């Protein structure tokens, strides 16, 4: 009995996690309305499949707004509808940005699609000709080839030969192909050369992050577990009720809102959910407000302040010295000038922490590793570290805050900073 | 010897059949001598070692409770998918070891690759693929890789294929386990890719393409059975590339606080009581300087020996007054070793005339310091010395003052001339010192160096002759005529010794500029060894 | 002994072979240092004939005489013999040098090897990972703090890296022979250009791993764990730290430290200057991965002294150098490039020149190869006699020995005398060790012939004074006496104030040194005996003069005992100096084995190309002895070579030359041609410009062309720098070397 409870809690957790990790689930829920991108896209592609015509579409939108997922959904459905009249070629600008590997990849996938033998040694021209030939073949066989070009803007770098020959082939050869470009750059079509753009039909789908309400309903949708045989009925109901309570709670509302404020994309939301879910307590087997709080705190961090909290007292001294130099409008500072400042501080205040140059240099290198400071230029490697100009990577406000937060921070440092104002 | 003909076929076989065949043969192979290579099984992706409980883990890593628990939560129970993690924190905060120990505890397969050992994309790719193919490089296969892949596109294809094989392999295994009701559930179907020292990838020359690739790997593969873990020294915000990507979930390892460090240092000590009393004295001052555990431990090792010196047996539990005595004994050592960051021990058996341990700077005690300054402890030819000094002067003094320092022919009468700069100093000093601090040693063309060199030599001739204890013309040839003869050779050897840096181009073309990088006290040493009045040619600096 | 049938072969081959080996060892030497000396060396080994010729032109009359003598007797008899002699002598010297250097380093090597073993065992103590663990991609789990790389800093204390190449190679061989895997990397492997990949490739190349396309340290790890490679320590020698690229080295060290448990590499880093070099090269994060300990190997000075002792003092019978040469070599070592390599090279040159110039040098060539007869047969005694007569030292020796000795007699005397001399020098040097006198300086001093006479005379005065052993004026004397020789004086003074213990040791060492030279040994003995009886006889007197010397009356007995002994020692030294330290150049027949011709050596050794070029440009007419210039001396004639005209014109400018002015003056000079056309016409030289023929219609264009070409030539020779963007109308003189 107890054992069973345990593992259906585990099952619940597992279910939620797999939901979160699979974006399709979320977007399916998000885009089931008729006027959504999903239906538009599906209409476009399916029409070009049925009417056996060529087409090219751009899916634009910020990262994590579900461009690919929606496309995947569409393709999946279409594959169900027209099982043997669609073949999909997937490329990513990250991997196939250069034309050679792009054509090679296309050839490879075409071969896999049609059970042909793919030769690694095939040259660039072989591959491109092969592609054109295959397009023609597919056209004759009334088979639509869908080219999915992820990171479309990266294909637009360089000579754009891939795009050109692809679109050109689509125009000249009796083929039926759909080119779907996906990019997070809204100006992606501006990047195209003229010869390419002229051949590109400017269908664009804009993907927008969901509104607050949508995301909240999405959250509810994702967190509610089905009330059916899969879970004990009472447990499921209880679970969903708790979720509802949490969502109603206004403390949660504000956490949620100021989480989504700086990035309201769905992926971001999923991240949040993932953290929250993974903190779910398996003893009780229910989500709690705490989970969301911890998730919130663990996701959006303030790295600079953390670094400040990590740094030793000596490193703080050096930072303060640099800040003082900065305030004094020194053109740029390097280790030597910092040391001068450090010494002057020591002379005027007789601090207990006055250490040897080497030790300070080591602390200085620590700061560089922590990326609280960095070299101002990449030139002059011949110079030793202490001469290379450096600049501070944190604002004085951050530094102030950090010093306040730092327990056992020497009073003198705060005084110095306050003096700077 | 069956390895020889078996080895080449390894890559060609499909994963499944090979492992099954190996699994069958493995037990009799294992009877061969220990360091013969048994073929790997999927179990080799496990960290292995005897299982550890979570509580041991928590006790092994003081001050890391929350982090460990968080990671456990994020990894989730067996066979649950997860989003990529980004574990970051300063140096030596236990990131890597905790991750590995956790996997040892969870007993799940992982593919680990450190971006330091794999210093370029190709090696990274190939090492990952090797592990997934359970391929071990050995003399038998000529240390070859399972797959040869340089392009990211190939990598992703290979990776997908290898992962699917491995995962199927795992699935079978777990099914077997399910059928045979063994406790401590199997190793699951998930495979975790761990990238350590990830911050180094930013310095790779292809980083602009590799970083997004690795960050997007999860979305690209679309395999829920794959978990990605990035371990990095620097926070995620330092990874922003021009094109951005969805950030992985951050897990933060803060530096240890004093109490934790204390626990860690005490962890495996012969005599914890004594050591803790030692830490009472020494930890706090050091902690103000650095919070990195490894630096602290290296600093404490010799210091603790010092601390124990007065004690007859190291195993006694110190009482109060003994602590007091030890305290008074250690105090000065602490203060001295606070300021040394790198020590070179010279073995007693090697007969070295120098002091027992030389620290970076001259040791604080007076007498040693002065005598250290006094003598130059390596050999240079006289002309090299003069050249070095002139380079130092050229770097140190602004070119505008050469005229006043040395008259054109470098005649003997700049005894009075060299007063000039010290008069000039007051109004100029501030600005000069500023820009000197800023720019470091100035650079100079070859001609200027040689001009100064000639002057110096001609000036310093007569003194240098007197200094030769044997007045029998041994030093007569020290005249500039001979010193001048092969200056360029001296220059080259000085450049090799990193005393003088030189810009890239040929010296005849002349566009090269040089810069001397030696410290002032080294220059003074050299000058003293020549009895050359260097200080009178320098700006008096406060 | 080579038959005279194949003289050319022996001539061409034999000398070259030792140089070959020497050169191979020291390739970088030529990269860094002047190729000229090598070339000269080659040529001088190469053909003896040419040497003879320039010898003819050499001013010294003695040389000229013997040169003439040389002309008379045929080379084909001599050269092979000379070469033969040179080879035998030099090979002997070379081998001694090698041995000496080796045992100089041996102790340090042993220390290093012991240290390596300690590190190795310490590493093994922590437990060996088995091969499966070691070939894993992830580090081995352990609660211990990360292990450090153990690194030995071998400090050579010599910024000239050349001498140490050999040292590190020998170290490598030594360690290999003592059971280590040794890999040697040098700074070229740590270049910015190739980065970490380059140095890993180089590292893997050191091991038998076959062909590897992507260098990766895990390969090395799995190799090390395979087939029992791991029962030997794995040593990695980085021979020159200073020249390595810091960032690459840092990466390398970090990588190694990441693998240190699986792959316990032991680093040996050669540091030329000081430990600080390491600190400057590496950032702190890399530094604290190293657990370093340092070893010293002999400084160049020590090595130099050992070489001088072994070659020039101990084996003074085989080959020797005159005072001037010694002085030159010393200054060359101290002032120019302080490398032993060049010193040895110079020595070799001297040896070679000696054998090629001094026909009688053959004699001692066979004096050490003790087979007289075929040599005597080779060159007839009367020829020998001829040379002997020409020796300036011969007649002196006549005087020295009233009854004219036979040559053989003289030679044997010479040898014995030299033996005595070298022992004496060694004794002095022993004493000198207390006052830090370097043998090289001492050597130069005792060779000085001008010091010898009055040193001698003073000793005479001192001698009868000493009968009474009145130490006071003995000392006053001594001061006056040693006024002359700076170092000897120092030594004597030092010995006078030596504490008893040290003195005892000194005398012991003297005994050891003089053991086989009975003559000096007996002296020593008598002194010691006399000491004993002395202080037994008169404590009072000595105590008095002690009180005279030192104001204090403290602890008389000790003092007096001490002083008596010291006085004896001083007296002994005096007697050494007086009797046995006759500079070699004052010995009869010294020409046989002693090389004195500094100028030639200087020319051969320091080819000073830059100065030569400039000098020659200034007076080109001296080289191409054309009639026109011969008459007018230094005046600038149009017939002169353009570049030389331009250069001498450039003398009038500062080191910034206005092109226009320069061209104008050049043009004016050329236009003199039209006035003195006939002169330049009948100038016989083929060297003359072709255009002198058509110089009538010589137009501006050609002049400009010639100007440009001349300027370009000067730029190529590195005398000019082309105009910069800032001052397009000025060229700059690269003025140094003169």
Here the tokens at position C676 are: 């003195």
- Which residues are registered as beta bridge partners of B252? B88
Cβ atoms A14, B80 nearer than 8 A: yes
- Residue A308 pLDDT > 70: yes
Is residue B27 included in any domain, yes or no?
Answer: no
Phi, psi of A173 (to 5 degrees): -70, 150
Distance between CA atoms of residues C132 and C222, nearest Å: 9
- Core vs surface per residue B375-391: b (16+ CB within 10 A) or e: ebebbbbbbbbbbbbbb
CA C364-C368-C373 angle, to 5 degrees, is: 75
- Residue C585 pLDDT > 80: no
Boundary residue ending a domain (B253, B269, B284): B253
pLDDT of residue B350: 38
Q: What confidence tens digit (pLDDT) does each residue in B199-228 have?
A: 999 888 888 888 889 988 998 898 999 999
Touching chains, B (3+ CB pairs < 8 A): A, C
Q: Verify that B196 and B57 share a domain, yes or no.
A: yes
Is residue B213 included in any domain, yes or no?
Answer: yes
Distance between CA atoms of residues A150 and A228, nearest Å: 39
Q: Which stretches within B397-519 are classed as H helix?
A: 402-405, 414-417, 419-439, 446-467, 480-484, 487-496
Query: A386 to chain C: nearest residue by CA?
Result: C280
**Which range is least confidently modeled, B128-142, B365-379, C186-200, C635-649?**
B365-379
Q: Verify that B124 and B203 share a domain, yes or no.
A: yes
CB-based contact B123 C214, cutoff 8 Å: yes
Cβ atoms C119, C293 nearer than 8 A: no
pLDDT greater at residue C106 or residue B517 = C106
Mean pLDDT of A354-378: 88
User: CB neighbours (10 Å) of residue C332?
Assistant: 23
Which distant-in-sequence residues (6+ apart) come within 8 Å of B12 by Cβ?
none
CB-based contact C284 A381, cutoff 8 Å: no
Mean pLDDT of B402-413: 57
Chain A residue numbers with beta carbons less than 8 Å from the beta carbon of B90 are: 307, 310, 369-370
Q: Verify that B388 and B367 share a domain, yes or no.
A: no
CB-based contact C294 B358, cutoff 8 Å: yes
DSSP string, A211-230: PHHHHHHHHHHHHPPP-STT
Distance between CA atoms of residues B189 and B193, nearest Å: 13
Cβ atoms A420, B472 nearer than 8 A: no
Mean pLDDT of C675-701: 50
Give residue B328's domain range: 258-372
- Residue A31 pLDDT > 80: no
- Selecting from B344, B377, B482 the residue whose C-beta is nearest the C-beta of C292 gives B344
Chain A residue numbers with beta carbons less than 8 Å from the beta carbon of B342 are: 358
Number of residues in chain A: 421
- Residue C707 pLDDT > 50: yes
Is residue B1 included in any domain, yes or no?
Answer: no
Fold adopted by A305-420 = Arc Repressor Mutant, subunit A (1.10.10)
pLDDT of residue C607: 65
Helix (H) or strand (E) run with residue B288 in it: helix B272-289
- Residue A235 pLDDT > 80: yes
Cβ atoms B488, C503 nearer than 8 A: no
Mean pLDDT of C404-424: 74
pLDDT of residue C47: 38
| B190-219 residues touching A, CB cutoff 8 A | 209, 212-213, 216, 219
Distance from CA of C689 to the nearest CA of A (A): 50
Mapped onto helix, strand or coil, the DSSP state of residue B163 is helix
Chain A residue numbers with beta carbons less than 8 Å from the beta carbon of B289 are: 312-314, 355, 359, 363
CB-based contact A313 B244, cutoff 8 Å: no
Which distant-in-sequence residues (6+ apart) come within 8 Å of B262 by Cβ?
B276, B279, B283
- Residue B85 pLDDT > 90: yes
Q: Verify that B83 and B220 share a domain, yes or no.
A: yes
Number of residues in chain B: 542
CB-based contact A370 B74, cutoff 8 Å: no
Per-residue 3-state assignment (H helix, E strand, C coil) for B203-248: HCCCHHHHHHHHHHHHHHHCCCCEEEEEEECCCHHHHCCCCCCCCC
Mean pLDDT of C528-555: 49
CA B265-B266-B270 angle, to 5 degrees, is: 120
pLDDT greater at residue C422 or residue B167 = B167
Q: Verify that B249 and B322 share a domain, yes or no.
A: no
Distance between CA atoms of residues B341 and B338, nearest Å: 8
Question: What percentage of residues in chain C have a pLDDT greater than 70?
Answer: 66
Cβ atoms A275, A295 nearer than 8 A: yes
pLDDT of residue B227: 93
Q: Verify that B50 and B139 share a domain, yes or no.
A: yes
pLDDT band for position B253 (cuts 50, 70, 90) = very high
Residue C489 to residues C437, C479, C494, C496, C548: CA-CA distances in angstroms?
11, 7, 8, 11, 21
Cβ atoms A295, A276 nearer than 8 A: yes
Q: What confidence tens digit (pLDDT) does each residue in B231-246 have?
A: 999 888 888 755 567 7
pLDDT of residue C177: 93
- Which residues are registered as beta bridge partners of B226? B191
Cβ atoms B178, B211 nearer than 8 A: no
- Selecting from C141, C288, C291 the residue whose C-beta is nearest the C-beta of B295 gives C288
Mapped onto helix, strand or coil, the DSSP state of residue C369 is coil
Is residue B58 included in any domain, yes or no?
Answer: yes
- Residue C689 pLDDT > 70: no
| Radius of gyration, CA atoms only, chain C | 33
Mapped onto helix, strand or coil, the DSSP state of residue B249 is strand
Helix (H) or strand (E) run with residue A93 in it: helix A93-96
Domains of chain C: 1-103+299-449+583-606 (no CATH), 126-298 (3.40.50), 450-581 (no CATH), 609-733 (no CATH)
Distance between CA atoms of residues B323 and C142, nearest Å: 32
Q: Verify that B392 and B479 share a domain, yes or no.
A: yes
Most confident residue range from A378-387, B157-166, C3-12, C185-194: B157-166
pLDDT band for position B32 (cuts 50, 70, 90) = very low
Q: What confidence tens digit (pLDDT) does each residue in A130-170 have?
A: 988 888 888 888 888 999 999 898 888 888 888 988 888 88
Which distant-in-sequence residues (6+ apart) come within 8 Å of C225 by Cβ?
B35, C129, C130, C131, C134, C135, C262
Domain boundaries, chain A: 31-206, 211-299, 305-420
Distance from CA of A362 to the nearest CA of C (A): 6
pLDDT of residue B164: 94
CA A9-A10-A13 angle, to 5 degrees, is: 90
Distance between CA atoms of residues C317 and C338, nearest Å: 27
Using a 10 angstrom Cβ sphere, with 0-12 exposed, 13-18 middle and 19 or more buried, the burial of residue A358 is middle
Residue among C278, C282, C283, C289 with most chain A CBs within 10 A, to mutate: C283
Here the tokens at position C568 are: 């004896």
- Selecting from C247, C280, C285 the residue whose C-beta is nearest the C-beta of A384 gives C280
- Selecting from B60, B341, B454 the residue whose C-beta is nearest the C-beta of C143 gives B60
Q: Establish, for the pair of chains A and C, how many residue pairs have beta carbons separated by less than 8 Å.
A: 11
Distance between CA atoms of residues C496 and C498, nearest Å: 6
pLDDT of residue A60: 92
Is residue B16 included in any domain, yes or no?
Answer: no
Distance between CA atoms of residues A409 and C220, nearest Å: 48
**How many structural domains does chain B have?**
3
- Residue C35 pLDDT > 70: no
Q: Verify that B217 and B79 share a domain, yes or no.
A: yes
Distance between CA atoms of residues A108 and A119, nearest Å: 8
Q: What confidence tens digit (pLDDT) does each residue in A49-63 have?
A: 888 888 899 999 888
Q: Verify that B394 and B512 share a domain, yes or no.
A: yes
User: CB neighbours (10 Å) of residue C723?
Assistant: 14
Residue C65 to residues B463, C44, C62: CA-CA distances in angstroms?
43, 21, 5
Domain boundaries A31-206, corresponding CATH code: 3.40.50.300
Is residue B231 included in any domain, yes or no?
Answer: yes
Cβ atoms A138, A144 nearer than 8 A: yes
Q: Is A120 on the interface with B (CB under 8 A)?
A: no
Q: What confidence tens digit (pLDDT) does each residue in A165-194 have?
A: 888 888 877 788 899 999 988 888 888 888
Q: Verify that B419 and B492 share a domain, yes or no.
A: yes
pLDDT greater at residue A209 or residue C82 = A209
Strands (E), B27-128: 85-89, 110-114
| C268-297 residues touching B, CB cutoff 8 A | 272-281, 284-285, 287-288, 291-296
Boundary residue ending a domain (B218, B253, B288): B253
pTM assigned to the model? 0.81
Q: Verify that B92 and B186 share a domain, yes or no.
A: yes
Q: What confidence tens digit (pLDDT) does each residue in C169-215 have?
A: 999 999 999 989 999 998 889 988 888 999 999 999 998 887 887 88
Q: Verify that B68 and B217 share a domain, yes or no.
A: yes
- Residue B411 pLDDT > 50: no
pLDDT band for position B437 (cuts 50, 70, 90) = low
Distance between CA atoms of residues A381 and C329, nearest Å: 40
Mean pLDDT of B33-55: 74
Boundary residue ending a domain (B318, B344, B372): B372
Helix (H) or strand (E) run with residue A144 in it: strand A144-150
pLDDT of residue B352: 37
Q: What confidence tens digit (pLDDT) does each residue in C286-330 have?
A: 888 888 888 888 888 888 888 888 888 887 667 788 888 888 888
């Amino acid at each position: 009995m107890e054992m069973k409870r345990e593992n259906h809690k585990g099952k619940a957790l597992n279910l939620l996690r797999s939901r979160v990790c699979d974006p399709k689930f979320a977007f399916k829920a998000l885009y089931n309305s008729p006027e959504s991108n999903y239906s538009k896209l599906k209409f476009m592609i399916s029409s070009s499949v049925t009417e056996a015509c060529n087409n090219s579409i751009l899916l634009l939108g910020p990262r994590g707004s579900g461009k690919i997922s929606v496309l995947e959904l569409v393709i999946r459905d279409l594959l169900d509808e027209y099982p043997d009249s669609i073949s999909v070629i997937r490329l990513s600008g990250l991997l196939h940005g250069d034309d050679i590997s792009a054509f090679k990849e296309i050839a490879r996938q075409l071969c896999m699609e049609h059970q042909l033998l793919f030769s690694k040694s095939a040259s660039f021209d072989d591959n491109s000709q092969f592609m054109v030939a295959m397009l023609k073949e597919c056209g004759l066989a009334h088979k639509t080839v869908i080219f999915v070009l992820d990171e479309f803007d990266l294909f637009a770098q360089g000579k754009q030969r891939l795009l050109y020959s692809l679109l050109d082939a689509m125009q000249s050869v009796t083929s039926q192909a759909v080119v779907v470009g996906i990019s997070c750059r809204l100006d992606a079509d501006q990047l195209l050369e003229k010869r390419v753009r002229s051949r590109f039909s400017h269908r664009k789908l804009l993907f927008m992050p969901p509104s607050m309400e949508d995301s909240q309903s999405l959250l509810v949708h994702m967190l509610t577990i089905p009330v059916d045989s899969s879970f004990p009925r009472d447990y499921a109901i209880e679970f969903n009720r708790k979720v509802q309570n949490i969502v109603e709670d206004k403390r949660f509302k504000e956490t949620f809102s100021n989480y989504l404020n700086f990035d309201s994309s769905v992926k971001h939301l999923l991240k949040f959910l993932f953290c929250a879910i993974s903190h779910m307590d398996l003893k009780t087997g229910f989500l709690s407000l705490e989970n969301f709080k911890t998730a919130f705190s663990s996701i959006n961090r303030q790295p600079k302040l953390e670094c400040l909290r990590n740094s030793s007292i000596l490193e703080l001294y050096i930072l303060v010295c640099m800040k003082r130099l900065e305030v004094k409008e020194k053109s740029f500072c390097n280790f030597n000038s910092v040391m001068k400042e450090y010494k002057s501080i020591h002379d005027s205040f007789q601090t207990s922490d006055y250490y040897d140059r080497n030790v300070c240099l080591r602390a200085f290198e620590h700061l560089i590793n922590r990326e609280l400071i960095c070299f101002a230029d990449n030139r002059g490697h011949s110079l030793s570290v202490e001469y290379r100009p450096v600049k501070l990577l944190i604002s004085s406000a951050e530094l102030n805050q950090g010093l306040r937060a730092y327990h056992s921070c020497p009073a003198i440092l705060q005084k110095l900073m306050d003096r700077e104002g | 010897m069956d390895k020889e003909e078996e080895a080449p076929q390894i890559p060609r076989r499909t994963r499944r059949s090979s492992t099954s065949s190996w699994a069958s043969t493995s037990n009799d192979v294992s009877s061969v001598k220990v360091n013969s290579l048994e073929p790997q099984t999927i179990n080799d992706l496990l960290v292995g070692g005897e299982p550890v409980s979570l509580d041991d883990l928590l006790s092994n890593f003081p001050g890391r409770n929350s982090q460990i628990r968080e990671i456990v939560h994020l990894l989730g129970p067996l066979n649950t998918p997860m989003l990529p993690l980004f574990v970051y924190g300063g140096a030596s905060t236990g990131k890597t070891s905790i991750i590995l120990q956790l996997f040892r505890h969870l007993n799940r397969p992982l593919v680990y690759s450190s971006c330091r050992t794999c210093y370029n994309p190709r090696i990274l790719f190939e090492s990952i693929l090797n592990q997934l193919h359970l391929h071990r490089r050995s003399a038998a296969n000529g240390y070859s890789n399972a797959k040869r892949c340089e392009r990211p596109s190939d990598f992703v294809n290979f990776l997908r294929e290898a992962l699917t094989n491995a995962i199927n392999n795992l699935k079978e295994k777990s099914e077997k386990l399910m059928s045979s009701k063994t406790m401590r559930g199997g190793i699951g179907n998930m495979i975790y890719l761990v990238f350590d020292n990830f911050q180094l990838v930013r310095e790779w020359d292809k980083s602009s393409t590799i970083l997004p690739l690795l960050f997007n790997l999860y979305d690209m593969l679309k395999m829920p059975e794959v978990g990605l873990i990035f371990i990095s020294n620097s926070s995620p915000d330092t990874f922003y590339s021009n094109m951005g990507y969805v950030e992985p979930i951050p897990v933060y390892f803060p530096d240890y606080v004093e109490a934790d460090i204390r626990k860690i240092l005490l962890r495996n000590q012969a005599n914890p009581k004594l050591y803790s009393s030692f830490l009472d004295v020494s930890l706090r001052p050091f902690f103000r300087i650095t919070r990195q555990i490894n630096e602290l431990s290296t600093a404490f090792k010799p210091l603790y020996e010092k601390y124990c010196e007065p004690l007859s047996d190291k195993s006694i539990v110190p009482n109060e007054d003994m602590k007091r005595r030890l305290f008074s004994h250690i105090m000065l050592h602490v203060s001295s070793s606070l300021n040394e960051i790198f020590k070179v021990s010279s073995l007693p058996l090697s007969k070295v005339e120098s002091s027992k341990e030389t620290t970076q700077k001259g040791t604080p005690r007076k007498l040693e310091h002065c005598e250290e300054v006094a003598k130059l402890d390596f050999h240079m030819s006289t002309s090299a010395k003069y050249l070095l000094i002139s380079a130092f002067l050229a770097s140190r003094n602004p070119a505008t003052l050469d005229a006043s320092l040395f008259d054109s022919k470098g005649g003997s009468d700049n005894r009075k001339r060299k007063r000039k700069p010290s008069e000039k100093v007051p109004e100029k000093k501030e600005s000069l010192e500023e820009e000197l601090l800023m720019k470091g040693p100035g650079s100079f063309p070859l001609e200027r160096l040689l001009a100064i060199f000639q002057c110096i030599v001609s000036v310093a001739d007569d003194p240098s002759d007197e200094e030769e204890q044997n007045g029998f013309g041994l030093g007569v040839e020290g005249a500039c005529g001979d010193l001048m003869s092969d200056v360029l050779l001296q220059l080259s050897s000085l450049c090799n010794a990193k005393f003088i840096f030189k810009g890239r181009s040929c010296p005849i073309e002349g566009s090269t500029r040089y810069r001397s990088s030696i410290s002032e006290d080294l220059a003074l040493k050299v000058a003293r060894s020549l009895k050359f009045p260097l200080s009178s040619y320098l700006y008096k600096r406060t | 002994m080579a038959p005279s049938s194949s003289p050319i072969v022996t001539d061409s081959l034999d000398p070259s072979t030792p140089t070959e080996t020497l050169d191979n060892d020291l390739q970088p030497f030529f990269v860094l240092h002047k190729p000229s000396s090598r070339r000269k060396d080659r040529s001088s080994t190469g053909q003896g004939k040419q040497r003879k010729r320039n010898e003819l032109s050499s001013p010294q009359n003695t040389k000229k005489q013997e040169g003439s003598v040389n002309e008379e007797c045929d080379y084909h008899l001599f050269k092979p013999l000379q070469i033969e002699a040179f080879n035998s002598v030099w090979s002997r010297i070379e081998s001694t040098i090698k041995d000496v250097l080796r045992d100089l380093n041996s102790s340090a090597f042993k220390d290093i090897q012991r240290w390596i073993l300690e590190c190795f065992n310490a590493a093994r103590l922590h437990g060996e990972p088995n091969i499966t663990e070691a070939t894993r991609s992830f580090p081995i789990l352990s609660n211990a703090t990360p292990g450090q790389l153990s690194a030995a800093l071998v400090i050579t204390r010599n910024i000239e890296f050349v001498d140490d190449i050999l040292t590190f190679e020998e170290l490598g061989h030594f360690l290999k022979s003592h059971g280590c895997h040794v890999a040697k990397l040098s700074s070229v492997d740590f270049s910015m250009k190739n980065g970490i990949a380059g140095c890993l490739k180089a590292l893997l190349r050191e091991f038998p791993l076959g062909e590897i396309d992507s260098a990766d340290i895990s390969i090395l790890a799995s190799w090390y764990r395979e087939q029992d490679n791991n029962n030997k320590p794995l040593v990695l020698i980085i021979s020159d730290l200073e020249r390595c690229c810091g960032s690459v080295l840092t990466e390398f060290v970090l990588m190694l430290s990441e693998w240190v448990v699986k792959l316990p590499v032991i680093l040996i880093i050669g540091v030329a200057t000081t430990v600080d070099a390491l600190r400057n090269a590496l950032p702190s994060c890399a530094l604290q991965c190293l657990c370093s300990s340092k070893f010293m190997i002999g400084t160049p000075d020590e090595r130099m002294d050992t070489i001088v002792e072994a070659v020039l003092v101990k084996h003074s019978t085989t080959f020797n150098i005159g005072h001037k040469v010694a002085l030159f070599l010393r200054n060359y070592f101290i002032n120019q490039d302080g490398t032993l390599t060049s010193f040895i090279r110079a020595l070799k040159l001297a040896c070679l020149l000696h054998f090629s110039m001094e026909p009688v040098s053959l004699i001692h060539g066979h004096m050490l190869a003790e087979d007289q007869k075929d040599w005597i047969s080779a060159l007839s005694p009367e020829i020998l006699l001829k040379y002997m007569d020409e020796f300036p030292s011969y007649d002196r020796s006549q005087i020295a020995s009233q009854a004219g000795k036979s040559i053989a007699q003289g030679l044997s005397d010479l040898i014995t005398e030299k033996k005595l001399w070298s022992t004496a020098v060694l004794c002095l040097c022993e004493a000198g060790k207390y006052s830090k006198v370097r043998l090289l300086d001492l050597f130069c001093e005792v060779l000085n012939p001008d010091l010898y006479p009055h040193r001698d005379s003073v000793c005479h005065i001192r001698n009868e004074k000493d009968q009474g052993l009145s130490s006071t004026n003995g000392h006053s004397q001594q001061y006056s006496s040693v006024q002359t020789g700076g170092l000897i004086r120092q030594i004597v003074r030092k010995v006078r104030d030596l504490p008893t213990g040290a003195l005892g040791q000194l005398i012991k060492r003297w005994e050891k040194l003089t053991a086989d030279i009975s003559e000096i040994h007996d002296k020593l003995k008598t002194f010691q005996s006399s000491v004993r009886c002395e202080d037994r006889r008169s404590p009072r007197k000595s105590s008095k003069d002690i009180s005279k010397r030192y104001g204090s009356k403290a602890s008389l007995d000790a003092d007096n005992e001490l002083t008596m002994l010291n006085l004896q020692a001083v007296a002994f030294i005096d007697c050494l100096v007086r009797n046995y330290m006759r500079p070699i150049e004052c010995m009869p027949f010294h020409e046989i084995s002693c090389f004195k011709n500094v100028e030639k050596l200087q020319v051969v050794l320091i080819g000073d190309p830059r100065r030569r070029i400039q000098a020659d440009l200034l007076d080109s007419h001296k080289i191409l002895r054309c009639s026109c210039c011969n008459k007018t001396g230094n005046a600038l004639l149009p017939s002169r070579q353009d570049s030389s005209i331009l250069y001498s014109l450039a003398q009038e400018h500062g080191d910034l030359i206005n092109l226009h002015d320069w061209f104008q003056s050049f043009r004016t000079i050329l236009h003199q041609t039209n006035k003195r056309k006939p002169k330049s016409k009948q100038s016989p030289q083929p060297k003359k410009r072709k255009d002198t023929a058509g110089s009538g219609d010589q137009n501006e264009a050609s002049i400009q062309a010639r100007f440009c070409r001349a300027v370009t030539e000067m730029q190529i020779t590195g005398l000019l720098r082309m105009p910069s963007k800032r001052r397009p109308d000025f060229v700059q003189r690269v003025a140094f070397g003169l």
